[in-house]
Amino acid sequence: QYGYTLPGWRKYNLTYRIINYTPDMARAAVDEAIQEGLEVWSKVTPLKFTKISKGIADIMIAFRTRVHGRCPRYFDGPLGVLGHAFPPGPGLGGDTHFDEDENWTKDGAGFNLFLVAAHEFGHALGLSHSNDQTALMFPNYVSLDPRKYPLSQDDINGIQSIYG
Ligand SMILES: O=C1CC=C(NS(=O)(=O)c2ccc(-c3ccccc3)cc2)CC1=O
Ligand SMILES: [Zn+2]
């Protein structure tokens, strides 16, 4: 069960923009992993996500290493933290960064971008971590088959408590 949920976005139509691409995967595979990571959540809420290719999106997505830009959180090189996302809000709110020092993949090798993205987008939408070990919002990465990796009831309860 969730400890707490942060206030969510006060709108259902959200935009996202992929600022840069990891060299680990084909661009189309990154686009697909991100889109599917967002669809995990839009399937169970009224949320709609629209991809834009310039300007400021609600959810700005980037691959970064170590200290990066004006981001208050840093990455730690290979392994360790894989990504971070900021809770809903203006500016940095909703922005999601992935650690470029990881090996991003679309299958079981390295870290599966779809899986980590789905988890991070949970944070970008206002969810905290779940203590339900079958939940997508569980704090530890599990490399289950990403396509059959359904949301747990705990994830659904959490997101619907914000955007029901
Ligand atoms: O707020 C935080 C702080 C630390 C994090 N650690 S992580 O980047 O190594 C990470 C851990 C687990 C996942 C994950 C959990 C369940 C399913 C898929 C991914 C994703 C990223 C991830 C995160 O979102
Ligand atoms: Zn960052």
The ipTM value here is: 0.93
Q: How far is the CA of 37 from the centre of ligand 1 (A)?
A: 14
Q: Does residue 146 or residue 155 have the better pLDDT?
A: 155
Output the pTM of the full model.
Answer: 0.94
Q: How far is the CA of 60 from the centre of ligand 1 (A)?
A: 18
pLDDT band at 4 (very low <50, low <70, confident <90, very high): low
Cα distances (Å, whole numbers) of residue 161 to 44, 88, 158: 11, 15, 5
Environment of ion ligand 2 (residues, CB < 5 A): 71, 73, 97
Cα distances (Å, whole numbers) of residue 104 to 62, 64, 92: 13, 12, 23
The question of whether 120 is a catalytic residue gets the answer: yes
